[in-house]
A and B are shown apart, each in its own frame.
Chain A
């Protein structure tokens, strides 16, 4: 009897220890995120106090008002939205339709073409950005939306991912629609797209988050502040207002709002997407 009790209490203590460890780790891990938001809502006076406050004593929203009225900040934001949304739409659509072709058709050189698509999967962007840059200079794409977007309109990973998913859609569905006289385009839009909606959404989320956080290409292909995306604009902020941490944290908080919204709404999708794709971080 005594043994059973001590076993049980040992287990209870183990569970308590585990909870304690997880609480402490979670607090440490979430702290920078919390600190970003907290700092963004403090006045500079409060920020630089020798013994800092965890929560703002008085909500200071002036930095938000300042940034949301700042035309260059809004311009960065708009540029990021344009690039991420258009880039995501184009790469998701091109992946879906090319994935469909590679999943459901037979044609000459199919394996070779698919090999070409996959061959670039593991090549780091940094290994072909220099020619992309000289191409952009030659075609006068520096400081344009086209220049910012064109490298991301296709995705090897996307084609591969969609092809895998569309292969599991039974051919009989396509055959039936064919007999009913549907055109291939119609079959793509009314059967294949809806049936692979969940993988399409997962891919789009992934592409959007990648595009929103992309840094090195915007850094290279834009020179004028007017065309900076948000990530780039924020680093210039840091250059201009070295010590204005309140303003910097406000810009940072506003900058992660879109990815946070996507995360909150599609948490399951994203976590499952990570486990499915695994290939890209």
Chain B
């Protein structure tokens, strides 16, 4: 379609005034609430920035040097990576599994699809609260059920490791439906003939899946995986609600964003927090760049 690049639709003053009336406020907003703050975070990461005395002294890369030697930063980084790896792995595999099963068009598939998608639309705080109730040591449904089956109870939120496991469970549960939907679009795009050909070969379902479905789904799998990684690197709400502060029932887990939050809004060490925000930005942009590269290779 013609995108307006070819010829002018409105070559007059009315056009110029319309464009200005729209773009001046829009671009000003982008400048003030997106571009400038991003630049300010970058610049601020080189200053002894605290809320009270503005940017303060220029300290070069000291914020970064201190950050990389900081124990909390180190554990936040490791926890974020662990969270990202496991949540991405399970949510992508389960999303693919449900997409494949529902693609066989069993009866009631729309109903199943809707049910699996419900957690995606719920918001995180209610979701975390109900999961904390389910995982409650004394009267939570999960432990009651385990006991009824004669199994030992699990202290889901008592140690940092178990807190992390619980946060991962909640996060996977919430996003399976999202991944499933994207995979099911990819599956619908696979031409029937591929399957018919392998049906004639008499290959088993598993062979067909490995030889036909999986290779054809490679681009979409990469897309879902990278998107999931980027989203998981930004994890915060679940961790905050389930493990931090007085509402958090569980042993505290630090992740990058919660550490940025604590540095800047609890200790008001904006410089150090900005340096950490830049680390997050570099990781996220690296993942984005990787995605662009992989997408180009596929073409």
- Taking beta carbons and an 8 Å cutoff, which residues of A are in contact with B? 15, 18-19, 21-22, 25-26, 29-30, 32-33, 35-36, 39, 47-48, 50-52, 94, 97-98, 100-101, 103-107, 113, 116-117, 119-120, 122-135, 137, 150-151, 153-154, 156, 159, 167-168, 170-171, 174-175, 178, 183-185, 209, 212-213, 215-216, 219-220, 230-232, 234-239, 242, 245, 248-249, 251-253, 255-256, 259-260, 262-263, 267, 270-271, 274-275, 278-279, 281
Contact = CB atoms under 8 A, between A and B. Distances in A.
Nearest to A274: B181
Contacts of A103: 3-4
B253 interface: no
29 contacts: A22-B101, A22-B106, A30-B118, A39-B133, A52-B144, A101-B23, A106-B4, A113-B27, A120-B30, A122-B288, A123-B284, A123-B285, A126-B277, A131-B40, A132-B37, A133-B265, A151-B33, A153-B29, A216-B236, A216-B257, A220-B265, A234-B129, A239-B246, A248-B133, A253-B126, A256-B122, A259-B123, A275-B182, A278-B223
Contacts of A120: 30, 34-35, 38
B139 A255 contact: no
Contacts of A29: 115-116, 118-119, 173, 176-177
B118 to A, nearest CB: 6
A94 B278 contact: no
A33 B115 CA distance: 10
Interface stretch (B14-22, B61-69, B193-201, B211-219): B14-22
A103 B175 CA distance: 33
Nearest to A209: B121
Contacts, number: 276
Contacts of B114: 267
A249 B121 CA distance: 17
A234 B175 contact: no
A101 B22 contact: yes
Contacts of B18: 101, 184-185
Nearest to B122: A256
A33 B274 contact: no
Given A30-B115, A281-B231, A21 B281 contact: no
B9 A154 contact: no
Contacts of A213: 123-125
A230 B123 CA distance: 11
Contacts of A242: 249
A220 B260 CA distance: 12
Contacts of B23: 98, 101, 113
Q: Residue among A230, A242, A275 with the most chain B CB within 10 A? A: A275
Given A52-B141, A104-B4, A122-B288, A249 B125 contact: no
Nearest to B32: A135
Q: Residue among A117, A137, A154, A167 with the most chain B CB within 10 A? A: A154
Contacts of A134: 51, 270
Contacts of B34: 120, 123, 128, 154, 156
Contacts of A259: 121-123
B156 interface: no
Contact of B227 (A35, A249, A278): A278
